[in-house]
Amino acid sequence: MARRIVLRSEEDPDRPQPEDLTIDYAADLNEQQYAAATAGDGPLLIVAGAGTGKTRTLIYRLAYLVETGTRPGQIVLLTFTRRAAHDMTARATQLLDGRCEKVQGGTFHAFCLQVLRRHAPALNLPRNFTVLDAADAADVLSVLRARGDYTRGEERFPQKRTLYNMFSAATNRDEALHEVLARRYPQFKSHYNALKQLQSAYRRYKQTHGLLDFDDLLERTLELFEADDDIRQQVAGRCKHVLVDEYQDTNALQAALVKQFASVHGNVTVVGDDAQSIYRFRGADFRNIFRFPDEYPNAEVLKLEKNYRSTQPILNLANHVIEQADRSYDKELFTDQAEGDLPALVPAADGEMEARFVAQMVLRLRESGVPLRDLAVLFRSSHNAYDVEVELNRRNIPFVKYGGMKLNEAAHIKDVLAHLKVAENPQDAASWNRILQLIHGIGPKTAQDLIDWATEDADDPFVPGDGLPFSSRYVGTLKELLGTLRSIRDPDRPVAEQVETVLDYYQPLFEEEYAEDHPKRAPDLDHLAGLAANYESRQRFLESLALDPIELTALEQEEAEDDEPPLTLSTIHSAKGLEFHTVFLIRALDGTLPSRHALREDGGTDEELRLFYVACTRAEENLFISYPMTQYRRSFGEYMTDPSRFVDDIPEDVLEPVQLVEEDAPDPDDAVEAPDAPPPLPSGNDADASDTDEAAADADAPDDGLPF
């Protein structure tokens, strides 16, 4: 079956007419969605509440644009995660028999990176510049801080991570450093001059060594367009249509970029929901979405209001929640699915009991026919899930945790990657610093001397030159290092082979550095080697890891090769855009959700409220909001907690309080019952379970003999 290839000019008079379309848009979509998907050219704002088929609409719009003659390669789809971009193009591709595959897109960062690689020389950047992830950037700042001797004063100087956040906030919000200090870091105001110096030192350092952090990817792309109008026209010329998902989470920089991308053709479609803006800490401003009609005066504004995801009781709670926010604009979610259980509010004695509740409900739901992958446990911050992880592991329930430790954040993985980065960009002083200090006998000072030599004086940094003060303490290992780098410098060598070469060299250093726990870390190194095999070049491999970090638990899960797709554990942030049959929102405590840090800031409470709203609206059928009544902290001992202020005043006919009851003997029938009404919990043998936890757990676990 030969494929037909039709070449069309942009002004093709024969472009397909609506009657030629292969998809019946009107039948597949509701009226509002149809209007949005098939809207004409020009700026378009789609305001879409949670679960209203926003993604579906965007996919159909993608298909529609392609069907009506826009070449896929001229469409740019910008999303917040790479996963979202993949999902969408894959679904559109399926819809349109493969024609959407060539759509450009991904995250803002990834798209900008492509542009920058192509036009690096115009910014006086080497083409092989290195992308710094947040931790790399913090490391650079740490080195500069030590060098500048800024820490000498009596007053506490910001930590490296804080420094990075500070400078990043300034960039993303387009604010001056003193404004950021005044607003978010008043305690460091006295260091203003030092910080200002450090900020420019950081900027210079990145420029000299060919390094770009996440913010630079956006900022320098903008700079590129402003500096060179030909390039702007060239890039924007290829953006016939720009589609932006989650527009409420764009910041000033990203909004400016969208404007540039659309500056030639003027076709922008943005989709968003002000009530779901949850990236304020990254400079997002939910008001961006209201400004869209001002920025694009002829913009069409369409709304999606009908919810297809959740039952009415869940929407009632969501509506009730978002009403408490100061600045939500009028929008009530409604659905035809009037029937459904009330969302449940579940206090547990402590965190472990909360975890047992979740684990048992998960098993019960699974037995009643809901697959694990349709269940999710959501939480404010990563460590909130600790008890649940322990409990799930104990019961061998497979899960993937999003928002936890990433593969490339593990120190030993960073070690290996730093070698590859140096091979890729020998000017990358930050990575040099890391790999040199791994060698016993080399500390900050020696590393600095060697870096100066490698990045400035050396003809070839991988060949030991004359006159270098190689102390006998480390000269052997250092020569070995240079030899390793020489043998992987050829970028055409298969990436997996390069990783293996580095691992051979790294192994003894690894075992020494992580003397206590290297056996636990070793599997990660194998994972890394396995992963490398999927990439066609070292550069691709490195930037993919930086821009699209891999969850450690996902790798473990993959290795387990369970045939049953796992349960999802996720931060609320990482769960954005996803939906699940049943959602457990755990640790609904004041100080956790809302987070105590957010409460200190202006507008922080509302942001937390929106976060809570996002969590609730992920649920289709069941929503359990739980919290422990006591917690333990080393410094305090055991103390009473406060339930989240967001659940405090909700009427019982909207959010139903449920009491957990520990039964003496579990009723085996209970285990197979679907949770029509939130049932009492058949838990341990003993209400006072702390000592008898093991026994209780064995007795109550209805999962013995389950196939995982």
List binders of DNA among 180-219 (CB under 7 A): 214
Q: Output the smallest distance, CB 26 to DNA, in A.
A: 35
Q: Which is nearer to DNA, 390 or 503 (CB)?
A: 390
| One character per residue 77-106, x = contact with DNA (rule: CB under 7 A) | ---xxx------------------------
Q: Which positions from 111 to 150 touch DNA by CB under 7 A, shown as an x/- string?
A: ----------------------xx---x---x--------
Retrieve residue 582's tokens: 């049943």
Query: Which of 276, 501, 557, 641 is the catalytic position?
Result: 276
The smaller minimum CB distance to DNA, of residues 483 and 549, is found at 549
Choices 232-240, 278-286, 641-649, 658-666 (CB under 7 A): range interacting with DNA: 278-286
- Point out the catalytic residue in the list 245, 548, 608, 621: 245
Question: Does residue 662 carry a catalytic annotation?
Answer: no
Q: Is 282 in the site for DNA (CB under 7 A)?
A: yes
Choosing from 145, 160, 282, 618, the catalytic residue is 618
Q: What DSSP state is assigned to residue 494?
A: -
Q: Which one of 257-265, 436-444, 638-646, 647-655 is the stretch in contact with DNA (CB under 7 A)?
A: 436-444
* C-alpha dihedral sign at 560, 563, 567, 570: positive
Query: What is the rounded distance in angstroms from the CA atom of residue 10 to the CA atom of residue 12?
Result: 5
Spatial separation of the C-alpha atoms in residues 706 and 708, rounded to whole Å:
6
Cβ proximity to DNA, 311 vs 568, nearer residue: 568
Residue linked to tokens 């909001």? 625
- The answer to the question of residue 366 lying near DNA (CB under 7 A) is no
Q: List phi, psi (to 5°) of 45.
A: -115, 125
Among 78, 88, 110, 362, binds DNA (CB under 7 A): 110
> Does 549 help bind DNA (rule: CB under 7 A)?
yes
Which amino acid belongs to residue 480?
E
* Angstrom distance (rounded) from CA 611 to CA 536: 39
Catalytic pick from 246, 249, 607, 608?
246
One character per residue 632-671, x = contact with DNA (rule: CB under 7 A): --xx------------------------------------
54 in active site: yes
293 exposed, middle or buried (CB, 10 Å; 0-12, 13-18, 19+)? middle
Residue 96 beta carbon to DNA: minimum distance, rounded to whole angstroms: 26
Total residues at the site for DNA (CB under 7 A)? 49
Least distance to DNA, CB of residue 206, Å: 15
- Paired sense of beta strands 619-628 and 344-348, if any: parallel
Is 55 designated active site? Answer: yes
CA distance 339 to 620: 12
Long-range contacts of 3-8 (CB under 8 A, 24+ apart): 8/69, 8/71
> Could you please report the per-residue DSSP string of 165-189?
HHHHHHHHHT--HHHHHHHH-GGGG
- Which of 237, 183, 204, 194 lies closest to 74, judged by CA? 237
Contact 270, 44 (CB under 8 A): yes
Out of 188, 402, 584, 646, the residue judged to bind DNA by CB under 7 A: 402
Which amino acid is it at 204? Answer: R
Q: Note if 618 is an active site residue.
A: yes
Contact present, 144 and 157 (Cβ < 8 Å): no
Q: How far apart are CA 360 and CA 683, in angstroms?
A: 8
Verify binding: residue 595, DNA, rule CB under 7 A.
yes
Q: Which stretch binds DNA (CB under 7 A): 14-22, 159-167, 365-373, 453-461?
A: 159-167
Question: What is the spatial distance between Cα 648 and Cα 633, in angstroms, rounded to a whole number?
Answer: 24
Closest CA to 355 of 339, 331, 379: 379
The answer to whether residue 441 forms part of the interface with DNA (CB under 7 A) is: yes
Cβ atoms 79, 105 nearer than 8 A: yes
Figure out which of the listed residues 328, 557, 571, 582 binds DNA, where binding follows CB under 7 A.
Answer: 571
Q: What is the DSSP code (8-state) at residue 643?
A: B
Q: Which of 33, 38, 52, 54 is catalytic?
A: 54
Residues acting as catalytic residues:
54-55, 245-246, 276, 618
Residues at the interface with DNA (CB under 7 A): 80-82, 107-110, 133-134, 138, 142, 151, 159-162, 165, 214, 278-279, 281-282, 380-383, 402-403, 437, 440-447, 547-549, 571, 573-574, 595, 597-598, 601, 634-635
